[in-house]
C-alpha cells in the first residue's frame, strides 16, 4: 500500500480541494470499477497535514452535479467554517467554490467529509484525513501511518451497489452496512512496518454505519489517543475495542520480528482485512515520545447544566409517536416522511435549538438509548469527557467527539460549551441522522 497522498499548498497558501466524479476498484484488481464521488479524484481524499495552531485555508470547488459542503470533523473550529450545509453555510452549488479558513487548536487525528445529504455523499467516497502534527514529532515519516477504514456495500461484481442508497429499511435498522472493507481505498492491503522501530498508526473509521471491533493487542499495539485527543500514557487493552463510524484511534507499536501480522476485525470470528508486513530498516532508532495531550477546557461538575438526550425509534424500538415541528405524528405518518428516530421525542432538526448555552456553561448530557440498535453520537465544535456508563463513573474519563451507546445503555458526557455558534448533535450512522437522529444546540 502506498503511503497516503499528502496535499501540497498552492503558491497563495491554499489547499485546493475539489469534489469530482471518479472511479476506483474497491474489490481489488478482480473487481469492477465503481462510480464514486471523490476529493481530487483520490480514494480516500488527499491527506491535509498541518501543525497545531496553524491557519488552514482550503479553496473548495464543487464539480459534482449536486450541492455539497465540507465538514472538518473533530476540529474545535470557528462556527462559520464548520461546513454544515443549511446551518453554518449555504450548500456549495455545482460549479461554485467556497473558501474554508480556520485555525486548528488541537494536534491529533481528524478527518473531513461531505456534510450535505451525507448519507448519500460520504459512502460514495467523499472523505479524507486531516492530520494536525504535534510540536515534537518522534516518528519517522514512514512510521507515522494514517489508515482510513471504510465499509462498502458491493454487488456480485465487486462494484459499489447504488440502488439501495437511501433505503428506508437500512435507515430504520442498523444503517447502510456494507460487505467489504478497504483501508485507504485498497482491498486487503499490505501495510509496511519496520522491525524494532516505533510506529504511530492513526485509524479513522469513515464507514457510514459499521462499528469495527478491533483488537490492537493482537498485533502488539497500545492505544495512545481517541478522536484526536492523546492520553497521558499509552494504554494496553486486552480484548476488543470498538471503533464506531467517525471515531479515531491512535496506536503505537514496535514490531520485534519481520514477517506478516494480520489486521483483523473481531466481529464473529476474526476476519483479516489487511496485513502488517514487517521488514528490516537502517533508519535511526528514535525513542518513543508520546504525543502531549491537548489543553481542553475542563468541565466543572460541581454545578453542571444537566440535560437528557433520549434516543428512541427505529425498527423494534416500540415507539408509537414523535413530535415534528410541534405536531405529534404516529408511526405511519413518520414513515411516510422517512422519519424513524428521535432525540427526546422530537424527530429531526427544528427551528429552535435543543438547548441554548451561555459561553462557559458546563453541560452534562445524560443519554439513554431506548432503541434496539447501537448509535455513535457526534457533537460538533466541542470535545467532551465520557464520565459515566450505566451508572458507573469512569476513572480517567476520555475526551471524545463521538461516543457509542449500546441498546438500553445510559451514557453521561460533560463539556464546556465554549465555542459560540450553532452546533449539530447527530448519530454518525448517516442514515440515522437523515431519518431523525439529528438536533442542534446554540452557544452564545
Ligand atoms: Cu462527521 Cu456532522 O459530522
Ligand atoms: Cu444511530
pLDDT in tens, 292-329: 899 999 999 999 999 999 999 999 988 889 999 999 99
With a cut of 90, say whether residue 5 has pLDDT above it: no
Minimum-distance ligand to the CA of 437? 2
For 200-222, how does the pLDDT look when each residue is reduced to its tens digit (9 = 90+)? 999 999 999 999 999 999 999 99
Report the nearest atom of ligand 1 relative to the CA of 74: 1
Report the nearest atom of ligand 1 relative to the CA of 380: 2
Residue of 35, 66, 122 whose CA lies nearest to 431:
122
Q: What mean pLDDT is predicted for residues 156-164?
A: 96
Amino acid 138: pLDDT: 80
Minimum-distance ligand to the CA of 402? 1
pLDDT-above-70 percentage for the chain: 99
CA of 92 to the centre of ligand 2 (A): 26
Report the nearest atom of ligand 1 relative to the CA of 84: 2
> Which of 40-54, 58-72, 324-338, 410-424 shows the lowest mean pLDDT across its residues?
324-338
Minimum-distance ligand to the CA of 116? 1
Q: What mean pLDDT is predicted for residues 266-288?
A: 94
Report the nearest atom of ligand 1 relative to the CA of 113: 1
Helix (H) or strand (E) holding 298: none
Amino acid 267: pLDDT: 83
Domains by residue range for the chain, with CATH: 15-136 (2.60.40.420), 152-279 (2.60.40.420), 305-443 (2.60.40.420)
Q: Is the pTM of this model over 0.90?
A: yes
The two beta strands, 144-152 and 199-205, are parallel
Atom 1 of ligand 1, nearest CA residue:
73
CA of 306 to the centre of ligand 1 (A): 24
Using CA atoms, how far residue 1 sits from 126, 143, 153, 192, in Å, is 20, 13, 22, 8
CA of 428 to the centre of ligand 2 (A): 6
Amino acid 18: pLDDT: 98
Report the nearest atom of ligand 1 relative to the CA of 73: 1
The CA-based diameter of the chain, rounded to the nearest angstrom, is: 68
With a cut of 70, say whether residue 4 has pLDDT above it: no
For 96-132, how does the pLDDT look when each residue is reduced to its tens digit (9 = 90+)? 999 999 999 999 999 999 999 999 999 999 999 999 9
CA of 363 to the centre of ligand 2 (A): 22
Helix (H) or strand (E) holding 4: none
Using CA atoms, how far residue 175 sits from 26, 32, 160, 168, 266, in Å, is 20, 25, 16, 9, 20
Amino acid 3: pLDDT: 55
Atom 3 of ligand 1, nearest CA residue:
73
Report the nearest atom of ligand 1 relative to the CA of 402: 1
With a cut of 90, say whether residue 251 has pLDDT above it: yes
C-alpha cell at 249: 484511534
CA of 219 to the centre of ligand 2 (A): 30
With a cut of 90, say whether residue 260 has pLDDT above it: yes
Ligand 1: residues with CB < 6 A are 71, 73, 113, 115, 246, 378, 380, 424, 426, 428
Give this complex's ipTM: 0.98
Minimum-distance ligand to the CA of 73? 1
CA of 371 to the centre of ligand 2 (A): 9
Q: What mean pLDDT is predicted for residues 55-84?
A: 98
Report the nearest atom of ligand 1 relative to the CA of 433: 2
What phi, psi does 77 have (nearest 5°)?
A: -110, 160
With a cut of 70, say whether residue 438 has pLDDT above it: yes
Beta strands in 43-198 (DSSP E): 45-51, 55-62, 70-73, 97-103, 108-114, 127-133, 144-152, 180-183, 186-187, 190-194
Amino acid 1: pLDDT: 58
Minimum-distance ligand to the CA of 367? 2
Q: What mean pLDDT is predicted for residues 276-281?
A: 98
Report the nearest atom of ligand 1 relative to the CA of 424: 2
What phi, psi does 168 have (nearest 5°)?
A: -60, -35
CA of 109 to the centre of ligand 1 (A): 15
CA of 314 to the centre of ligand 2 (A): 9
Q: What mean pLDDT is predicted for residues 183-207?
A: 97
pLDDT-above-90 percentage for the chain: 93
C-alpha cell at 322: 414523535
Amino acid 331: pLDDT: 85
CA of 276 to the centre of ligand 1 (A): 30
If pLDDT is split at 50, 70 and 90, which confidence band does 377 have?
Answer: very high
CA of 380 to the centre of ligand 1 (A): 7
Amino acid at each position: 500500500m502506498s503511503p497516503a497522498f499528502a496535499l501540497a499548498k498552492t503558491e497563495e497558501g491554499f489547499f485546493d480541494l475539489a469534489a469530482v466524479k471518479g472511479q476506483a476498484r474497491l474489490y481489488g484488481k478482480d473487481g469492477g470499477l465503481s462510480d464514486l464521488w471523490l476529493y481530487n479524484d483520490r480514494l480516500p481524499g488527499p491527506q491535509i497535514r498541518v501543525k497545531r495552531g496553524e491557519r488552514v485555508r482550503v479553496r473548495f470547488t464543487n464539480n459534482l452535479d449536486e450541492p455539497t459542503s465540507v465538514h472538518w470533523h473533530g476540529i474545535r473550529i470557528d462556527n462559520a467554517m464548520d461546513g454544515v450545509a443549511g446551518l453554518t453555510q449555504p450548500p456549495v452549488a455545482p460549479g461554485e467554490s467556497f473558501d474554508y479558513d480556520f485555525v486548528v487548536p488541537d494536534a491529533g487525528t481528524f478527518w473531513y467529509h461531505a456534510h450535505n445529504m451525507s448519507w448519500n455523499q460520504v459512502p460514495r467516497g467523499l472523505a479524507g484525513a486531516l492530520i494536525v502534527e504535534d510540536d515534537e514529532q518522534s516518528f519517522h515519516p514512514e512510521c507515522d501511518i494514517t489508515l482510513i477504514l471504510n465499509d462498502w456495500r458491493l454487488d456480485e461484481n465487486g462494484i459499489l451497489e447504488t440502488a439501495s442508497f437511501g433505503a428506508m429499511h437500512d435507515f430504520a435498522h442498523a444503517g447502510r452496512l456494507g460487505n467489504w472493507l478497504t483501508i485507504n481505498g485498497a482491498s486487503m492491503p499490505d501495510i509496511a512496518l519496520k522491525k524494532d522501530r516505533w510506529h504511530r498508526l492513526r485509524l479513522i473509521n469513515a464507514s457510514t454505519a459499521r462499528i469495527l471491533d478491533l483488537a490492537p493487542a493482537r498485533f502488539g499495539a497500545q492505544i495512545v489517543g481517541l478522536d484526536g485527543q492523546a492520553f497521558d500514557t499509552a494504554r494496553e487493552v486486552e480484548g476488543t475495542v470498538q471503533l464506531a463510524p467517525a471515531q479515531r484511534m491512535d496506536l503505537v507499536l514496535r514490531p520485534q520480528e519481520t514477517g506478516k501480522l494480520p489486521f483483523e476485525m473481531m466481529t464473529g470470528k476474526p476476519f483479516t482485512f489487511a496485513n502488517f508486513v514487517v521488514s528490516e530498516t537502517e533508519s535511526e532508532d528514535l525513542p518513543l515520545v508520546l504525543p502531549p495531550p491537548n489543553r481542553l477546557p475542563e468541565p466543572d461538575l460541581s454545578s453542571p447544566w444537566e440535560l437528557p438526550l433520549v434516543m428512541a425509534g427505529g425498527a423494534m424500538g416500540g415507539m408509537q409517536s414523535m413530535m415534528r415541528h410541534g405536531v405529534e405524528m404516529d408511526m405511519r405518518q413518520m414513515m411516510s416522511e422517512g422519519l424513524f428516530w428521535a432525540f427526546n421525542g422530537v424527530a429531526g432538526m427544528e427551528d429552535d435549538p435543543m438547548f441554548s448555552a451561555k459561553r462557559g456553561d458546563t453541560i452534562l448530557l445524560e443519554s439513554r438509548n431506548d432503541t434496539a440498535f447501537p448509535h455513535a453520537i457526534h457533537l460538533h465544535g466541542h470535545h467532551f469527557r465520557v464520565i459515566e456508563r450505566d451508572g458507573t463513573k469512569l476513572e480517567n474519563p476520555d475526551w471524545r467527539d463521538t461516543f457509542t451507546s449500546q441498546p438500553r445503555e445510559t451514557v453521561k458526557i460533560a463539556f464546556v460549551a465554549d465555542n459560540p455558534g450553532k452546533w449539530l448533535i447527530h448519530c454518525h450512522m448517516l442514515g440515522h441522522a437523515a431519518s431523525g437522529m439529528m438536533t442542534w444546540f446554540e452557544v452564545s
